[in-house]
Amino acid sequence: DAKTTQPNSMESNEEEPVHLPCNHSTISGTDYIHWYRQLPSQGPEYVIHGLTSNVNNRMASLAIAEDRKSSTLILHRATLRDAAVYYCILRAPTSGTYKYIFGTGTRLKVLA
Amino acid sequence: NAGVTQTPKFQVLKTGQSMTLQCAQDMNHEYMSWYRQDPGMGLRLIHYSVGAGITDQGEVPNGYNVSRSTTEDFPLRLLSAAPSQTSVYFCASGGHHGTGELFFGEGSRLTVL
């Protein structure tokens, strides 16, 4: 199963951009890159996903390296409500494996 | 929209007791899974299912049983609870394909004394 590697923690000042990295060097050609976040005392929630091209939505942007071995979740203006654990996972639609491994994620601390 | 519903939200068990954590989804998702999250840790996959009658093991399956008799329900059974199973349990469901997002329940906090 393809695995991801993320820093344990990061800090950001409020209203500044945050770049959360994820390495997935063993990614296969059909793996989608998904990001989820978990607010305190809640279940994880979907943030964004992509395959090859960069993606934007109302919550964040996802920048995917050309070789797809890494990606970066971008929060354009961090707020205190963005303090959470962010998980990067890989999902494969046709590989026959459905072990979506979350790992320990990156704990983002936002400073006022 | 109900989404993914987990019951109970809280449960205290004594060592050796058995119980079932219930998970139901109303989105007609083929994929369902159970995770556990220990304090300060990430989520670890226990079991998952890609459809009725099909289940498979995740990262930490020992001590847990699952079955999938309907698309909607995916119960997690602890046959003989141990203190090491004290954790918060999350159920998730999603489309069969990698493009779809996973939807999580609110969690079930289990304490085994």
Taking only the tens place, the pLDDT of each residue in B59-101 is: 899 999 999 999 999 999 999 999 999 999 999 998 765 567 8
User: Among all chains, which residue has been given the structure tokens 């289990």?
Assistant: B110
In this prediction, residue A1 carries a pLDDT of 58
Stretch B8-37: mean pLDDT: 95
Computed over every residue of chain B, the mean pLDDT equals: 92
Q: What's the pLDDT at A85?
A: 96
Render A47-105 in DSSP notation, one character per residue.
EEEESSS-EE-SS-EEEE-TTSSEEEEEESS--GGG-EEEEEEEE-SSSS------BS-
Q: Which residues in chain A come in under a pLDDT of 70?
A: 1-2, 92-98
Q: How far is A16 from chain B (nearest CA, A)?
A: 26
More confident residue, B58 or A64: A64
Contacts of A29 (CB under 8 A, 6+ apart): none
- What local confidence, expressed as pLDDT, does residue B10 receive? 97
Kindly state whether B79 is in contact with chain A, defined as any CB-CB distance less than 8 angstroms.
no
What pLDDT does B99 receive?
A: 63
Whole-number pLDDT of residue B1: 62
Residues B98, A92: C-beta atoms closer than 8 Å: yes
B21 phi and psi angles, rounded to 5 deg:
-90, 130
- Quick one: which of B64, B91, B68, B93 has its CA closest to B80? B64
Residue B19 and residue B29: Cα distance in Å, rounded?
Answer: 25
Q: Are A71 and A65 in contact (CB under 8 A)?
A: yes
Tell which of A28, A38, A98 to mutate to test the B interface (max B CBs under 10 Å): A98
